[in-house]
């Protein structure tokens, strides 16, 4: 096969390989690192595991819940996210997606109907959806964990343990927030992803160019 024909044959696959490599590397990088919010300089990432809601009946060993999500964050020197204002809320939705639900660090555990941030911060911002929080279907137990509600424009809802409430029995990731420069959460910026993409494209091009050279030798 002539080198020109080989190059034409592999032109489309080269972009496919590059896109695959970029996606794989970016996913691996974001799985270990944080994305920096330019508004406050903090780093954010998702929990590695998915978790269920939480209520006053306590943790369910068979279903890791919101408290376990916070424990994962604390193990890294961080907390589930504290959302201070609408700009931060909008950034989280734009960054992690608007169709998925994510646990945040807001709870009323031990103080029914008085919601507070598990990080200890005193941020007064709330972005509840209409009619929320409502402790739906859990009299005496309460829905004690808050989440960004997927598909609701970034608004929030409260949920409890699915074994004690007619809540959605689907585990979600939590959003972890770490302070600027946290050793447990090195950051990766948008420019970092661009550079990663360029390096990936370069590597793919070199690999394919080497195949063309070998085929024409």
pLDDT digits 0-9 by tens, 99-156: 999 999 999 988 888 999 999 999 999 999 999 998 876 555 678 999 999 999 999 9
- Is 22 within 8 Å of 200 (Cβ atoms)? yes
Q: What are the tokens at 116?
A: 């507070």
- Is 133 within 8 Å of 158 (Cβ atoms)? yes
The HSE-up count of residue 88 (CA atoms within 13 Å, CB side) is: 19
Predicted TM-score (pTM) of the model is 0.70
Distance CA 105, CA 177 (A): 9
**pLDDT band for position 10 (cuts 50, 70, 90):** very low
User: Following CA atoms 200, 201, 204, 209 in sequence, which dihedral angle do they give, to the nearest 10 degrees?
Assistant: -150
Q: Which of 61, 165, 42 is nearest to 105 (CA)?
A: 42
pLDDT digits 0-9 by tens, 60-100: 666 789 999 999 999 989 999 999 999 999 999 999 999 99
What domains are there in the chain, each with its CATH number?
1-33+190-217 (no CATH), 37-185 (3.10.100.10)
Three-state secondary structure readout of 139-199: CCCCCCEEEECCCCCCCEEEECCCCCCCCCCCCECEEEEECCCCCCCCEECHHHHHHHHHH
Q: Is the pLDDT of residue 208 over 80?
A: no
pLDDT digits 0-9 by tens, 151-202: 999 999 998 876 654 455 679 999 999 986 666 665 555 556 566 667 777 7
82-105 burial, b at 16+ Cβ within 10 Å, e below that, comes to: bbbeeebbbbbbeebeeeebbbbb
**pLDDT band for position 213 (cuts 50, 70, 90):** low
Q: What are the tokens at 56?
A: 């006053």
Q: Is the pLDDT of residue 11 over 60?
A: no
User: For the chain, where are the alpha helices, taking DSSP H only?
Assistant: 3-9, 11-32, 66-74, 86-96, 190-216
Distance CA 135, CA 123 (A): 22
Mean of pLDDT values over 14-24: 50
**pLDDT band for position 12 (cuts 50, 70, 90):** very low
pLDDT digits 0-9 by tens, 26-60: 444 444 578 999 999 999 999 999 999 887 666 66
């Amino acid at each position: 096969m002539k080198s020109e024909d080989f190059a034409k044959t592999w032109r489309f696959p080269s972009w496919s390989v590059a896109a695959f490599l970029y996606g794989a590397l970016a996913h691996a990088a974001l799985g270990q690192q944080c994305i920096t919010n330019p508004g406050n300089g903090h780093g954010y990432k998702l929990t590695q595991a998915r978790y269920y809601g939480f209520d006053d009946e306590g943790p369910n060993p068979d279903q890791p819940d919101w408290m376990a999500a916070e424990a994962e964050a604390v193990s890294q020197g961080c907390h589930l996210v504290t959302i201070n204002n609408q700009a931060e809320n909008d950034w989280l939705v734009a960054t992690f997606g608007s169709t998925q639900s994510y646990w945040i660090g807001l709870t009323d555990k031990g103080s029914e109907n008085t919601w507070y941030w598990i990080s200890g911060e005193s941020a007064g911002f709330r972005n509840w959806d209409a009619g929320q929080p409502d402790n739906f279907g859990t009299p005496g137990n309460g829905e004690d964990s808050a989440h960004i509600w997927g598909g609701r424009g970034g608004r929030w809802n409260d949920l409890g343990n699915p074994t004690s409430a007619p809540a959605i029995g689907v585990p979600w990731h939590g959003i972890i927030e770490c302070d600027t420069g946290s050793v447990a959460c090195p950051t990766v910026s948008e420019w970092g992803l661009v550079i990663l993409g360029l390096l990936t494209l370069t590597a793919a091009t070199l690999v394919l160019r080497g195949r063309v050279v070998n085929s024409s030798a």
